[in-house]
Structure 1
Amino acid sequence: MARARMLLVEDDAALAELLIWHFKREDFEVVHTVDGEEALLLAQENMPDIVLLDWMVESLSGIEVCRRLRRMNGTANVPIIMLTARGEEEDRVRGLETGADDYVTKPFSPRELVARVGAVLRRVRPALAGETLTFADVEMDTVGHKVRRGGQVIPLGPTEFRLLKHFLEHPGWVFSRERLLDSVWGQDSDIELRTVDVHIRRLRKAINADGRHRDIIRTVRSAGYALDTDGAA
């Protein structure tokens, strides 16, 4: 099972300690801060798989942190669960409209929160839940590092494997070349944008078996690439 990276933004020391203990017991890597501004920096430096975000934190409100995370390229699609003592419907709606994926009102059970986090990750990042990634007739065994299409093993190079894994974790999402560089090669990479196109072509050739299978990678003009059944070479 892949180890999930969590960014916890919570200024209640006792609650933060309790949550860190529970999530580390579930094998999460937890990075904690009490400060909204620092949370944005930490998210940019090492993109988390999920963010637990308190509504009221230092320097920036949780709502503003959520809004900015949704606007930044590297974190626009990272799942966010807001933690708050605000239980009014208007507050919940505001949090969800700002971009939160879920909303947990204090006080809450840590076990329930662990379950909610697991549910969100299974929905948006199934590899982190230890499941085989599938799309159409493509299957990826992330542990055994094998890919099959229609039951036949598809040999892939390391970069093409990472690229396909990223697409399988986000089916239907359109990714620009810049986003793919950040997510697949890393933010510190000095790879040129056109290199992404080269690896996309290699990936297409491999998983489409030189045209024997339908193309499942769609080119979106002026936007990037997406994994869906309306792919076009």
Structure 2
Amino acid sequence: MRVLILDDDEELGELMQPQLAKYGMELSLSFTPTQAFEMLDAEHFDCLLLDMMLPELDGMAVCRAIRSSGKSYAEIPIVALTARAELTDRIVALEGGFDDFVAKPMEMRELVARIGAVVRRKRDDQVPVPAEPQPEPHSGLHLSPAHMSAVYGPYAVNLTELELRVLTALREADGAILSRGDILASIGYTDQSDPAMIDTIIYRVRQKFRDQGLNTDFIKTLRGQGYCIRAEQVS
């Protein structure tokens, strides 16, 4: 597996190279966004490790530039390397186009696991799935991946990718209760991911519908158990 790191700390990359090599990963080093883009244009990489705090251009801007580039590497799995591990920072990174994040200082086995997970998830997403007729959802919730939106009764909202994934997992459970760990697994994250991320995403979805005038919480919270979607009268 070929991995590219963009981090202005030259010693960090040099220290990581032999450690990742033990896990069959070939790490190439870049120290500026300009250098990283030149390498991405010239070579194929399976994953990008991207420092969030860069002097030339911050990590969020680099990630946005990659995702909007229209080039072959636009969908490369990107793992954020950050010294800021607050939940809000992680959610912003994930919704901004990153696939995962690792807090500095890094534990190498965790980094290897996260690289492997995002690469597998990206490959799975690229496998064509035969289209099947979708039954009318019992929950009354309609999701449109093509338009990144959700409709419940007369209320419609736009969604981020993570919000769409979480709602899809809950709707497909058909009223069954999913724990936060169940939801994390269903959207492709490991049990090492922070389960509070699910609480934040669900809060944001509820707030979007409330802003549209929906007075009903169709996403039910079961204390100590998790979440589910259950149909009730829309108001």
Query: What's the counterpart of residue 170 of structure 1?
Result: 126
Counterpart in the other structure of 1:40: 37
Which residue does the alignment assign to 1:91?
A: 89
Aligned to 1:124: 122
**Retained in 1: the 8 A contact 2:68–2:74?**
yes
Partner of 1:22: 19
- The alpha-carbon deviation at position 117 of structure 1 amounts to 0.9
For residue 107 of structure 2, what is the aligned residue in structure 1?
109
Compute the displacement of 1:124 (Å): 2.2
Question: Take 2:38 and 2:10, find their aligned partners in 1: how far apart are those partners?
Answer: 21
Counterparts of 2:33 and 2:84, CA distance in 1? 18
Q: How many residues align?
A: 131
**CA 82–13 in structure 1, closer or farther in 2 if over 3 Å, else same:** same
SS where residue 106 of structure 2 aligns?
Answer: coil
TM-score by length of 2: 0.51
Query: Residue 51 of structure 1 aligns to a residue in which SS?
Result: strand
Equivalent residue number for residue 229 of structure 1: 130
* Residue 76 of structure 2 is aligned to residue 78 of structure 1: yes
- Percent of pairs with identical residues: 38
Q: Within 5 Å, which residues of 2 pair with 1:2-13?
A: 4-13=1-10
Correspondence 1:57 to 2:54: yes
Work out whether residues 67 and 99 of structure 1, in 8 Å CA contact, stay in contact via their aligned partners in 2.
Answer: yes
* Conservation of the 8 A alpha-carbon contact between 2:17 and 2:26: no
Deviation at 1:108, TM superposition (A): 2.2
Q: What is the identity, as a one-letter code, of the residue corresponding to 1:68?
A: A
| Equivalent residue letter for 1:117 | I
Is the 1:37–1:59 Cα contact (8 Å) retained in structure 2? no
**For the residues of structure 1 that align with 2:45 and 2:64, how far apart are their CA atoms?**
16
Do the aligned partners of residues 21 and 58 (structure 1) sit closer, same or farther apart at CA in structure 2, a change above 3 Å counting? farther
TM-score w.r.t. the length of structure 1 is 0.52
RMSD: 1.9
